Chain A
Amino acid sequence: DVKVTQSSRYLVKRTGEKVFLECVQDMDHENMFWYRQDPGLGLRLIYFSYDVKMKEKGDIPEGYSVSREKKERFSLILESASTNQTSMYLCASSLGGATDGEQYFGPGTRLTVT
């Protein structure tokens, strides 16, 4: 069974803290994605990785960075958390090749920055 897991379901951090969100997939997928989901805005792509150590900026990369050292793991880093980064963060993976294949999502991490 396909599985994407995220390190935390809920996270509370203070302004200025460095935050790490971890995502692991067990499907040997080449593509991995980080999105944030806010009410009324839909999912917005932060970063995308199509291979180990490869990354591509999405629509809203400012304030975020990513790391993909192993195929199964994709990390999202908030260098200095701010209150406007309070959101639901969703990780997804899909098979290689075209990026419009079916994406398999993790359960999400609800991050609150105070």
Chain B
Amino acid sequence: KNQVEQSPQSLIILEGKNCTLQCNYTVSPFSNLRWYKQDTGRGPVSLTIMTFSENTKSNGRYTATLDADTKQSSLHITASQLSDSASYICVVSDQVSSSASKIIFGSGTRLSIRP
């Protein structure tokens, strides 16, 4: 069964510190992997997308990495800010197809930044 697992479930860090969120997946064949940020009371917003051939993708202070061999991805946040407090969701698509059920969402990591 295609699955996407994220760790940790929740994380609290001090403002200014760095952190790394993990995503492991069993989805196959693989098409792409996205990281979304979901603020409380809002819908998710895409941060990065990576395809099979990409190892790293940055978006400001967010850097995503992908190891397609081990089926692992990470999202690294540098110099955290209070506005980074949110849930971060890993989403994996298994192929370019007409079926939206091939898009698998992780349950997310809840990140809290403390001043």
Chain A residues packing against B (C-beta within 8 Å): 4, 9, 31, 33, 35, 40-45, 48, 50, 56, 58-59, 90, 92, 98-100, 102-108
Chain A CB within 8 A of B111 CB: no
Q: A100 and B43 in contact (CB under 8 A), knowing A42-B89, A42-B108, A50-B98?
A: no
User: Which A residues lie within 8 Å of B43 (CB)?
Assistant: 4, 90, 92, 104-108
* B1-40 interface code vs A (CB 8 A; 1 in, 0 out): 0001000010000000000000000000001101000000
Question: How distant is the Cα of A58 from the Cα of B100 in the complex, in angstroms?
Answer: 7
User: Which A residues lie within 8 Å of B83 (CB)?
Assistant: none
Question: How distant is the Cα of A92 from the Cα of B32 in the complex, in angstroms?
Answer: 18
Contacting residue for A99 out of B44, B45, B97, CB 8 A: B97
Question: How distant is the Cα of A69 from the Cα of B93 in the complex, in angstroms?
Answer: 28
B interface residues, how many (CB within 8 angstroms): 27
User: Which B residues lie within 8 Å of A103 (CB)?
Assistant: 44, 46
Cβ–Cβ contact B98 & A42, under 8 A: no
Chain A CB within 8 A of B81 CB: no
Known A99-B98, A105-B43; further 11 A-B contacts with Cβ < 8 A: A31-B100, A41-B107, A58-B100, A58-B101, A59-B101, A90-B43, A90-B44, A100-B93, A102-B34, A103-B46, A107-B41
User: Which B residues lie within 8 Å of A106 (CB)?
Assistant: 43
Chain A CB within 8 A of B49 CB: yes
Cβ–Cβ contact A45 & B101, under 8 A: yes
**What is the CB-to-nearest-CB distance from B15 to chain A, in angstroms, rounded to a whole number?**
26
Which partner residue on chain B sits nearest A40 by CB separation?
B107
Could you list some 5 contacts between A and B, CB below 8 A? Answer: A42-B4, A45-B103, A48-B101, A100-B103, A103-B44
Cβ–Cβ contact B46 & A102, under 8 A: yes
